[in-house]
Amino acid sequence: MVQVIDLEIGMPKTATTLQAAAINRGRPGNPASESLDRPAGYGFDNYGQIFGTGPPGSGQESGDLLADLVADMDLSNVEYGLLVNMPNNEIGQIHRQYPGRFKMFPALNPLDGMRAVRELERLVREDGADGYRVSSLYSGLPANDRRYYPLYAKCVELGIPVRIYTAMTYANDRPYELGHPRHLDDIAIDFPELRIIAGLAGWPWINDMVGLLRRHPNLYCDTAAHRPRYLDKDGSGWEMFLQYGNSLLQDKIMVGFSRYLFNCGYDILIDEYQQLPLKAHVLEKWFYGNAVAFFGDS
Q: In the 3-class helix/strand/coil scheme, how is the chain assigned residue by residue? A: CCCEEEEEEECCCCHHHHHHHHHHCCCCCCCCCCCCCCCCCCCCHHHHHHHCCCCCCCCCCHHHHHHHHHHHHHHCCEEEEEEECCCHHHHHHHHHHCCCCEEECCECCHHHHHHHHHHHHHHHHHHCCCCEEECHHHHCCCCCCHHHHHHHHHHHHHCCCEEEECCCCCCCCCCCCCCCCHHHHHHHHHCCCCCEEEEHHHCCCHHHHHHHHHHCCCEEEECCCCCHHHCCCCCCCCHHHHHHHCCCCCCCEECCCCHHHHCCCHHHHHHHHHCCCCCHHHHHHHHHHHHHHHHCCC
Predicted pLDDT of residue 254: 98
Cα dihedral 277/283/285/286 (nearest 10): 80
- Residue with the larger pLDDT of the pair 141 and 21: 141
Residue 14 clears pLDDT 90, i.e. is over it: no
Residue 29 clears pLDDT 90, i.e. is over it: no
Q: Predicted confidence band at 42 (pLDDT cuts at 50, 70, 90)?
A: confident
% of the chain residues with pLDDT over 90: 80
Residue 38 clears pLDDT 80, i.e. is over it: no
Residue 34 clears pLDDT 50, i.e. is over it: no
Q: Give the whole-angstrom CA distance, residue 20 versus residue 42.
A: 19
Residue 1 clears pLDDT 70, i.e. is over it: yes
**Lowest pLDDT segment from 7-11, 115-119, 205-209, 279-283:** 7-11
pTM above threshold 0.75: yes
Average pLDDT across the chain, whole number: 92
Q: Predicted confidence band at 176 (pLDDT cuts at 50, 70, 90)?
A: very high
Predicted pLDDT of residue 279: 98
* Vertex 216 angle, CA 153 and 191, to 5°: 15
Predicted pLDDT of residue 59: 60
**Lowest pLDDT segment from 56-60, 84-88, 182-186, 200-204:** 56-60
- pLDDT average, residue stretch 188-205: 98
Inter-residue contact 194 to 187 (CB < 8 Å):
yes
Predicted pLDDT of residue 62: 65
Buried/exposed code over 29-59 (b: 16+ C-beta within 10 A; e: otherwise): eeeeeeeeeeeeeebbbebeeeeeeeeeeee
Q: Predicted confidence band at 290 (pLDDT cuts at 50, 70, 90)?
A: very high
Inter-residue contact 261 to 298 (CB < 8 Å):
no
Q: Give the whole-angstrom CA distance, residue 191 versus residue 185.
A: 10
Show the domains of the chain with their CATH numbers. Answer: 4-28+42-295 (3.20.20.140)
Predicted pLDDT of residue 57: 58
Q: Predicted confidence band at 58 (pLDDT cuts at 50, 70, 90)?
A: low
Inter-residue contact 188 to 196 (CB < 8 Å):
yes
Tell me: the pLDDT tens digits for 219-250? 999 999 999 999 999 999 999 999 999 999 99
Task: Report CA-CA distances (Å) from 3 to 10, 128, 169.
Answer: 20, 24, 32
Residue 82 clears pLDDT 60, i.e. is over it: yes
Residue 33 clears pLDDT 50, i.e. is over it: no
- Residue with the larger pLDDT of the pair 260 and 196: 196
Inter-residue contact 159 to 195 (CB < 8 Å):
no
Say if residue 204 is preceded by a cis peptide, omega within 30 of 0.
yes
Q: Give the whole-angstrom CA distance, residue 119 versus residue 106.
A: 10
